[in-house]
Each structure stands twice: as structure tokens, then as C-alpha cells.
């Protein structure tokens, strides 16, 4: 187990057909501690031959896996959940360093949601009706086959498990490419899968880059479905490649999510909620509320509350219990976010707080990938910071003259993943929620539920994850026409 005295973890093999297999290449990618910039591990940069081996194992295993009873598959899912729970602290420590997530979220949603995903998928599997009558037809839902999964680095374990749990619950097998930026938790998942004695080949993990391993998975003729979480640009590339072989795709992509604060909203509560949501996982969330849309008359007061709330946030190493915001995942991501802050200033947005000055940290953490939590005001949708996904702790405040204009500003983006509304009149808030072009809308700080669907409109993706909706993404639908005189 990795503790505060960090031991380097080097992944040297892929997980294929229930065993650790040496890759066909000798190249590796370093893994960095986001708090210090030091190397804490490595993973293979595999090649097409390794994908071929994994897909072959998955294809063979799926023939038998799909025939297991729902209760038998559910037992394996719950066994994996128990094994992940036994490794909870190890996983949390890795995520603090790989991603920079603070202790609360690393020990919380980053690691508990993956455990819940396997248990919830098992619950759905045991109660799901795979056959229903539609008039004179039987409608059957069946596994698709081999699923290829390509995931992002910001929730490295969750994004793998939310795909794997529901895909295998539905009777499919899966080949996973985790992000090379944050691959270490995927290796722990493989160990949990082994300990749970999951049949060989049901879950396979191939480490490597997107252009090499990712594209090999997408284009492989025996991969029947692709599920991807990442940037919209990469998702479009996957969709285009998958279309060439007419494979099903499920894409969870980017976001530029608005919070509409209505004129009658409790202002302090609403602004604090928006800032808090933005800063979860250090702003490294596709569904974070990055735009705050407020009445023009309340703009000065909103700026004051946002500045005071943001300035009170404790920034520091993710491994320290007092830190509320940690570093970003990599030097590349740090440079990207700082570049957007510079753009905001050059485009004429009002810098309320934050900026590009270095964060003061302890000497041993001076090379960490920190960015000051930043607030801009007087932002418009034609500014880069108003329309593009930044993926860091940067809030853009926009103002409106009437509620119709607020809705227009909120919807004036290519994305449609998440949105939020805050107002004292719940009926008025729900009316606005119905007009927002987003797959998920939070009203007055309502809680999410991982049994509810997760996904977006427009360039934010195709399909849904979580719960029954996510489970059904991994099923084919077959209509069987049976003559009445042959039916019971």
C-alpha cells in the first residue's frame, strides 16, 4: 500500500485474459506526482498487437460470460466491489497524487463511486426484465459483444469502473485503455478483478496512448461498441472511426455548464454553491458549473461574494488534510489553464480575484502544478473563457437584463452537459430548468444520484451512463415476432 512515504509504482505489464502479460513494446510513460512534479511510477506504451491479444481474449470469454445467469454475474460484480473496498486507502493515496484531488474527494466520490457502480450494476442485473411483450412480439435485450473503453484522467478509477461494471453486468466483455496520465488505479482494479476470481478475459486492460492503443481499439473489427470519456475533439474522432465499421458509440464529452441565479435567489447561498461546485476536483470536471449567470443589478454583490468565497479557499498539497483545492494533474494542464487566464485578461474580462501569479507552497511542493482559483466578471459568450472548456479552477461571471436573456446566454454554447438554477420560487426555477439545453439540471443545490442518468446534449456527448440508463446502453434490442397460435 502507498502511504505518506510514497513508493514508486511501475506498471510493467498489461492485464489480458486474467493474467499479467508483457507488452510487445518496451516503451513506457512516466507518471508524475501532481503535488511535486516528481515521478511516482510508469506504465507501458503498448501497441496494436497488445490490443489484438486483449480483444481475442475478450471475444472468446464473452461466449461463455453471456450465458451465465444474472445472479451469477451479479455475484462476481459484488466480489469486485468488495475487493476495491479492501483497497480503498491505497486507491485514495494514488488519486491524491496522480490527479491532485484533495483528501475528501479522493476518499469520497473518486473511490466510493467505483465501488457503488459494481454494486448498483449487480442490483439492476438481478431485477432487470430482459424480455417483454409488445403486442404480438417479444422484445429481447441481449449483450452487444466486446466493448472497447477509453477513459480520461480526471476521475481515473471511476471512469473505468462505470463503464466496466455496467458493460459486464449486461453480459459483454471489455477491453479498457486508461489514461496514460493517471493509469495507476487501473492496475489496482486489475488486482481486484484477479482476487474476485472473475472469469479470464471478461475485463482486460491495455496501457498506452490514444493514437496507438486507443485507435487500435476503436478500429478493431471485433470490438462491437465503443464507450469513451474525454474531450469533444477526441470523441468526434472516435465517432468518425467507429462509423466506418458501423459500431455503436457512447460518448461522454466536454461541458461549459451554466448556473443561472434568478433575481429572487438567496444570493450568498447561490454564489457559494456555484463556487463550491466549480472547485470540486480542482475544477477538473466536465460537468463543473464554470459559468455564473446573474442579474445585472446584482453583479457587484455577486462579484464581492465570489471573491470572498474564492479567496477563503485553502490551496495546498492534496495529501494535506486542510487543503480544499490541490494541484492540477500535470504541467501540460497547468499551462493550459494559465493560458486561459491570460486570454481572459487580454480579451477584456474583469479579473475579480486570482490570476497567473504562483501559489505559495511549502518548499518541497514548489514544483507542483498549482493554479490560483480565479474569478472573471463581465464575461461574454464570444470570449474564449466564456465558451471553451478550461478544466481548472476558473469561474466566469456573466450578467443578464431579463430571464429570457439569461436562458439565451446559458444555452449559447456548443455544450449541454450540466446546468443549474437557483431561485426562491421553486416553480419558476423548475420552469427555467425545463428551458435549459442540458442532460442534467441542478435546482437549488439538489443532490445527484448515481442511479440517475449522466450525460449531455449537443457536443457534450451521445448516450447516458449510470443506473438503468447506463446499463441499457450496453444491450442490443431484438424484436421476435411469434404467431399467436404458438404462444402460451
69 neighbors 85 (Cβ within 8 angstroms) = no
Measured CA to CA, the distance from residue 391 to residue 410 in angstroms comes to 18
- How far, rounded to the nearest angstrom, does the alpha carbon of residue 334 sit from its chain's CA centroid? 19
- The chain-wide mean pLDDT, for the chain, equals 95
**What's the mean pLDDT in 326-352?**
97
Measured CA to CA, the distance from residue 438 to residue 229 in angstroms comes to 17
- Tell me the pTM: 0.95
Number of domains in the chain: 2
454 within some domain: no
Beta-strand (E) ranges in 45-172? 131-134, 137-143, 146-150
Residue 8: all three cell numbers together: 514508486
Residue 252 annotated as catalytic:
yes
Residue 203 shares a structural domain with residue 70: yes
Measured CA to CA, the distance from residue 443 to residue 313 in angstroms comes to 24
2 within some domain: no
46 neighbors 208 (Cβ within 8 angstroms) = yes
pLDDT at residue 136, rounded to an integer? 87
Residue 474 shares a structural domain with residue 429: no
483 within some domain: no
Please identify which of the residues 286, 324, 389, 473 carries the catalytic annotation. 286
For the domain that residue 382 is a member of, what is the CATH number?
3.40.309.10
Residue 28 shares a structural domain with residue 168: yes
Residue 344 shares a structural domain with residue 297: yes
Q: For cell 426484465, what's the residue?
A: 129
1 within some domain: no
Residue 487 confidence (pLDDT) above 80: no
For the stretch 404-440, pLDDT in tens is: 999 999 999 999 999 999 999 999 999 999 999 999 9
Residue 104 shares a structural domain with residue 68: yes
Q: For cell 399467436, what's the residue?
A: 484
**What's the mean pLDDT in 125-146?**
96
For the stretch 182-241, pLDDT in tens is: 999 999 999 999 999 999 999 999 999 999 999 999 999 999 999 999 999 999 999 999
pLDDT at residue 2, rounded to an integer? 35
Element (H, E) at 44: strand 39-44
For the stretch 383-397, pLDDT in tens is: 999 999 999 999 999
Measured CA to CA, the distance from residue 420 to residue 15 in angstroms comes to 41
113 within some domain: yes
4 within some domain: no
Q: Kindly state the percentage of the chain with pLDDT values over 90.
A: 94
485 within some domain: no
Integer angstrom CA distances of residue 241 from 148, 163, 179, 248, 283: 13, 20, 19, 11, 30
Closest to 341 (Cα-Cα) out of 293, 391, 292, 403:
391
Please identify which of the residues 215, 252, 303, 389 carries the catalytic annotation. 252
486 within some domain: no
pLDDT at residue 486, rounded to an integer? 67
Residue 184 shares a structural domain with residue 236: yes
Residue 364 pLDDT grade (very low, low, confident, very high; cuts 50, 70, 90): very low
Residue 123 shares a structural domain with residue 195: yes
Residue 467 shares a structural domain with residue 439: no
Residue 139 shares a structural domain with residue 247: yes
For the domain that residue 204 is a member of, what is the CATH number?
3.40.605.10
Measured CA to CA, the distance from residue 235 to residue 151 in angstroms comes to 11
Residue 70 confidence (pLDDT) above 80: yes
pLDDT at residue 1, rounded to an integer? 31
368 neighbors 36 (Cβ within 8 angstroms) = yes
The gap between the terminal CA atoms of the chain, to the nearest Å, is: 58
Q: Which SS3 state, helix, strand or coil, does residue 113 take?
A: helix
Residue 118 shares a structural domain with residue 227: yes
Residue 236 shares a structural domain with residue 166: yes
Residue 27 annotated as catalytic:
no
pLDDT at residue 4, rounded to an integer? 45
Domain of 146, in residue numbers: 9-253+460-478
Burial of residue 456 (CB within 10 Å: 0-12, 13-18, 19+) is buried
Residue 228: all three cell numbers together: 469513451
Residue 27 pLDDT grade (very low, low, confident, very high; cuts 50, 70, 90): very high
Residue 473 shares a structural domain with residue 433: no
Measured CA to CA, the distance from residue 51 to residue 28 in angstroms comes to 16
Amino acid at each position: 500500500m502507498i502511504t505518506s512515504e510514497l513508493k514508486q509504482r511501475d506498471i510493467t505489464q498489461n492485464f489480458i485474459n486474467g493474467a499479467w502479460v508483457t507488452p510487445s513494446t518496451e516503451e513506457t510513460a512516466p507518471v508524475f506526482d501532481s503535488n511535486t512534479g516528481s515521478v511516482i511510477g510508469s506504465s507501458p506504451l503498448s501497441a496494436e498487437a497488445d490490443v489484438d491479444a486483449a480483444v481475442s481474449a475478450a471475444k472468446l470469454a464473452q461466449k461463455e460470460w453471456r450465458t451465465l445467469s444474472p445472479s451469477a454475474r451479479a455475484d462476481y460484480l459484488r466480489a469486485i466491489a468488495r475487493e476495491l473496498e479492501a483497497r480503498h486507502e491505497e486507491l485514495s493515496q494514488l488519486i491524491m497524487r496522480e490527479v491532485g484531488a484533495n483528501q475528501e474527494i479522493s476518499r469520497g466520490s473518486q473511490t466510493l463511486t467505483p465501488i457503488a457502480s459494481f454494486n448498483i450494476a449487480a442490483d439492476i442485473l438481478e431485477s432487470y426484465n430482459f424480455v417483454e411483450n409488445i403486442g404480438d412480439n417479444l422484445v429481447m435485450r441481449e449483450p452487444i459483444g466486446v466493448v472497447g473503453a477509453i477513459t480520461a484522467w480526471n476521475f481515473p478509477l471511476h471512469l473505468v469502473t462505470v463503464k466496466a461494471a455496467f458493460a459486464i453486468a449486461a453480459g459483454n466483455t471489455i477491453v479498457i485503455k486508461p489514461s496514460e496520465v493517471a493509469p495507476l488505479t487501473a492496475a489496482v482494479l486489475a488486482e481486484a478483478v484477479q482476487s474476485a476470481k472473475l472469469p479470464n478475459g471478461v475485463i482486460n486492460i491495455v496501457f498506452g496512448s490514444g493514437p496507438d492503443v486507443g485507435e487500435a481499439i476503436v478500429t478493431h473489427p471485433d470490438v462491437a461498441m465503443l464507450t469513451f470519456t474525454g474531450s469533444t475533439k477526441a470523441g468526434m474522432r472516435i465517432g468518425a472511426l467507429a462509423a466506418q465499421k458501423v459500431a455503436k458509440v457512447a460518448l461522454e464529452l466536454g461541458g461549459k455548464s451554466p448556473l443561472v441565479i434568478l433575481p429572487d435567489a438567496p444570493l450568498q447561498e447561490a454564489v457559494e454553491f456555484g463556487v463550491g461546485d466549480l472547485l470540486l476536483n480542482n475544477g477538473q470536471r466536465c460537468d463543473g458549473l464554470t459559468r455564473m449567470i446573474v442579474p445585472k443589478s446584482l453583479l457587484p454583490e455577486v462579484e464581492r461574494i465570489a471573491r470572498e468565497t474564492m479567496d477563503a479557499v485553502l490551496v495546498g498539497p492534496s495529501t494535506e488534510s486542510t487543503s480544499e483545492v490541490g494541484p492540477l494533474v500535470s504541467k501540460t494542464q497547468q499551462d493550459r489553464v494559465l493560458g486561459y487566464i491570460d486570454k481572459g485578461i487580454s480579451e477584456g474580462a474583469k479579473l475579480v480575484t486570482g490570476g497567473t501569479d504562483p501559489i505559495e507552497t511549502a518548499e518541497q511542493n514548489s514544483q507542483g502544478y498549482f493554479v490560483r482559483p480565479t474569478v472573471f466578471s463581465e464575461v461574454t459568450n464570444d470570449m474564449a473563457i466564456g465558451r471553451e472548456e478550461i478544466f481548472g479552477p476558473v469561474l466566469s461571471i456573466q450578467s443578464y437584463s431579463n430571464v429570457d436573456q439569461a436562458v439565451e446566454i446559458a444555452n449559447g454554447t456548443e455544450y449541454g452537459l450540466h446546468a443549474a438554477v437557483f431561485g426562491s420560487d421553486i416553480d419558476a426555477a423548475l420552469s427555467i430548468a425545463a428551458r435549459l439545453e442540458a442532460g442534467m439540471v441542478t435546482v437549488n443545490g439538489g443532490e445527484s444520484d448515481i442511479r440517475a442518468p449522466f450525460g449531455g446534449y449537443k457536443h457534450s456527448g451521445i448516450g447516458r451512463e449510470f443506473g438503468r440508463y447506463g446499463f441499457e446502453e450496453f444491450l442490443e434490442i431484438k424484436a421476435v415476432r411469434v404467431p399467436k397460435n404458438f404462444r402460451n
